[in-house]
Structure 1
Amino acid sequence: MKEMSKNSTAGAASRHRNGGGNPLGPNSEIARKLKQYYDELVSDQVPDRFAQLLSQLEKAEPAEKKD
């Protein structure tokens, strides 16, 4: 009986060290912060000048492909 409780305690400690069954383990906090940062970047609006430059580039590309 004592052996069984040691195994269950060891398993609980192992799960705690690995983030409670989280596949990323201790890196889960880093992953969460990176995802949050990425989501904020994606939701930001593109500045007008940058959008204009991208539009000019898209117009210039088909002309280059025809050559």
Structure 2
Amino acid sequence: MTKKATGAVGAKPRRNGNDPLGANSEIGRKLKQYYDELVSDEVPDRFAELLSQLEKAEPTQKKA
């Protein structure tokens, strides 16, 4: 008894005429949404303090 497989294996993705990227468009939208949320988050105080200490510890470089 063998069943005919249906589904993702060998299946071509459906493409809407308005959306040439198909499923990739949804992935792109999700990534952009995640990035936008990440960028809008505030920097934690402890992290900002560590960055400030690092900047002070680095030797000043002359710009050429």
Alignment TM-score > 0.5, same fold: yes
**From 34, 44, 62, the counterpart of 2:59:** 62
Structure 2 unaligned blocks of 5 or more: 1-13
Residue aligning to 2:32: 35
Report if aligned partners of 1:19, 1:26 keep a CA contact under 8 Å in 2.
no
| Structure exhibiting the larger radius of gyration computed from Cα positions | 1
Residue aligning to 2:44: 47
Structure 1 unaligned blocks of 5 or more: 1-16
Q: As a proportion of its length, which structure holds more helix?
A: 1
% identity of equivalent residues: 81
Residue 62 of structure 1, CA deviation? 1.9
Residue 57 of structure 1, CA deviation? 0.6
Q: TM-score, normalised by structure 2?
A: 0.61
* Coordinate RMSD, CA, aligned: 2.1
Residue 20 of structure 1, CA deviation? 2.5
Aligned pair count reads 49
Q: TM-score, normalised by structure 1?
A: 0.59
